[in-house]
Amino acid sequence: MAVTVREVLDDALVATAEPQVEVAGDSLDNPVRWVFTNEREDVASFLAGGELLVVEGRSLVADGREKRADEYVKSLVNADIAALMVELVEEVTQLPKMLVKAAKHEGLTIIGLRRRIPFVDICQSVNTMIVRDQMRMQMQVDVMSTSLRSELAQASNPKAVADGIANLFGEDVVIFDVDGLEVARAGQNINTATDCGIVLALEEQKRPLGALEISQRNTVFDEAMCRRIEQIAAPVLTLYLDGGARVGMVAHLIAGPEDGVHVSPMEAREGHAMLDALGFAASGVYMPFAMKLKSVANAMPAIVSMIDDFESNGGCESICLLEGDLMIGFLAAQDSGGDVSVFSDRCLHALTQVAANEYVYTVHGRAALDTISLMDAFGALRSVIRTCISNDAECPYGTLECVDSSLLERMLGMERTDEAVRMVITQTVGHELMHNAMLIDTLCACFDNLDNKTGACEQLGIQRQTLYNRLDKVTQIVGIAPTDKISWSMLLLGAKMAKSQHNHTISSTSAL
């Protein structure tokens, strides 16, 4: 385990400086990657994350810096430091009030040192402890790797692999193929689904193979050990879990756009050819989804039941792949000539069956009528899952949400404004609707009038029935209706952005 702020305070040399927790912050169990001392106000630009920053109290009030304490604290939090350690001796014996207020608001841990010792001694002592801990962990991983390679050297099938891992760690092990089907199980509690364990992604040359789930009843697996187990087990299981060309085509489709936002013409052509090879006609309609699984063993029964129920409807199919703790794919109907909103409702009803499962967090896109919209949707789904994983809060297992619910949050997380606008337009308006000026103008009128139909008709100079006909056409294209408040609101926002971007482009061209 990594050295934490709490363990630094227990260090014998640091203890001689009489450290006191001035602001508790988010946690004293934050891992400390390194101890660093620099009293520049822009020190955040030199940090990589996880540092314990040590400064003199005088530096916090020099040149009027106490007035800018809020910006200083925010910069440190954004740099993801473990904690701020401040020497409070002689001239400055108390933290500036504005600094304390900002730290409490931002969740920054601040440690006060009430006795002076050289900062170089603190750095040397704690950094030595960190390096020793890293060396110890690396030795443990190396020993484990040697033992695991020895266990799996003679493995001739997935069951032998599961037995080898179970014997080495004394844990329960379950192996799943890329379709989510269980292929092997081992351990003392062989008939009991694992709980609170780890789920490892099995892949070979970026091609998904399935998942390996290990309980943690006796062993706590850190990130380094998990990566090493994946690296050793995956090549052995490749011989038995490789799904062939079909899996390769599906994996290419559900990977989404290379830029994570919008497919290129080449990507679209390749995706369409793969959809066709998988047996989906040009008239198909699709509902993309992604499921983050806390436990594959506990989640799969509900997922399999959902898929069986959905496919019992005439003309309905599904395709999905298991990538470790992520199940991603789409529900489909071969004929999109009917009402898209009816298809969407059927898919949401199916996904709701899984949503109540405490081991599954489900995110769905909107109905896609073409390859471009489908592949773009996978980019959005993966973005939502990444955002969920990167957040400190617990993943909301047992819930179902639409990608549109977090669209603004993801937009604000992008560095470039133009890229953020492009993402919103792509993931709301979509490819086909974007090129229909009349429908874009109609949606903009709804946006301008707070979706008031009377006001929109007056602005457009059309009859109410004409407006409804246009909105029905929009629903047929993008798969959402005005009754879907969140997605419809995001669609109106996207249409307004698309119109404004188009007008800006025209104005810029005219100016030239």
Average pLDDT for runs of 10 along the chain of length 512:
84 91 85 89 88 90 85 91 90 89 91 91 90 76 82 88 89 92 84 69 87 86 86 89 86 90 89 88 83 93 93 89 94 73 87 90 89 90 82 76 87 84 87 88 94 94 94 85 88 92 62 44
Bridge-based pairing of strands 173-177 and 207-214 is: antiparallel
* pLDDT of 199: 93
* pLDDT of 479: 77
Which CATH code of 1.10.10.410, 3.40.50.720, 3.40.1390.20, 3.40.50.2300 fits the domain covering 5-129? Answer: 3.40.1390.20
* pLDDT of 494: 92
Which CATH code of 3.30.70.600, 3.90.1150.10, 3.40.50.720, 3.30.980.10 fits the domain covering 245-416? Answer: 3.30.70.600
* pLDDT of 155: 86
Contact 322, 176 (CB under 8 A): yes
Question: What are the contacts of 117-125 at 24+ separation with CB within 8 A?
Answer: 117/13, 117/16, 117/17, 119/37, 119/54, 119/87, 121/13, 122/13, 122/14, 122/17, 122/35, 122/37, 122/54, 122/85, 123/35, 123/36, 123/37, 123/54, 125/11, 125/12, 125/13, 125/14
* pLDDT of 482: 86
* pLDDT of 336: 53
Q: Which of 111, 22, 98, 23 lies closest to 64, judged by CA?
A: 98
* pLDDT of 366: 86
pTM of the model: 0.72
* 82 vs 110: CA distance, rounded Å: 9
* pLDDT of 194: 54
* pLDDT of 181: 92
